[in-house]
Amino acid sequence: MRTGSRWKSTVDTTEVMVIRGPSKDIDLRCGGHAMVASGTSFEAAEIDPAYADGTQVGKRYVDEELGLELLVSKAGSGTLSVADRSLHLKDAKPLPTSD
């Protein structure tokens, strides 16, 4: 998972870009099925209803344990996950108050 690499879902329209990736290989999934590198041919799969919470365009999804951060460039209906563990929407940093 190189920083800057792009990945596409095999079950819906979700596309992501790696902002921060782990040094080891991971099982990146969307909708319960493996994602493929953008531009790679693939066989379409059916979305797993257990992983159908969807993604939001322009939002970042993270797995703190692995140090993974993804930016969604195209939204879809599948949930992003690493193996069976769903990624979480990254919280916005609070802005400092101005007095």
- Beta pairing partners, 15: 8, 74
Q: What pTM was estimated for this model as a whole?
A: 0.88
What pLDDT, on a 0 to 100 scale, did the predictor assign at position 93? 82
What is the pLDDT, as a whole number, of residue 23? Answer: 83
CA dihedral 15, 20, 24, 28 (to 10 degrees): -20
Residue-by-residue pLDDT tens, the chain, 99 positions: 799 999 999 999 999 999 999 888 899 999 999 999 998 899 999 999 999 999 999 999 999 999 999 999 999 999 999 999 999 999 888 888 876
DSSP the chain: --TT-EEE-SSSS-EEEEEE--SS---EEETTEE-EETT------PPPGGG-S---TT-EEEETTTTEEEEEEE--SSPEEETTEE-EEPPPPPPPP--
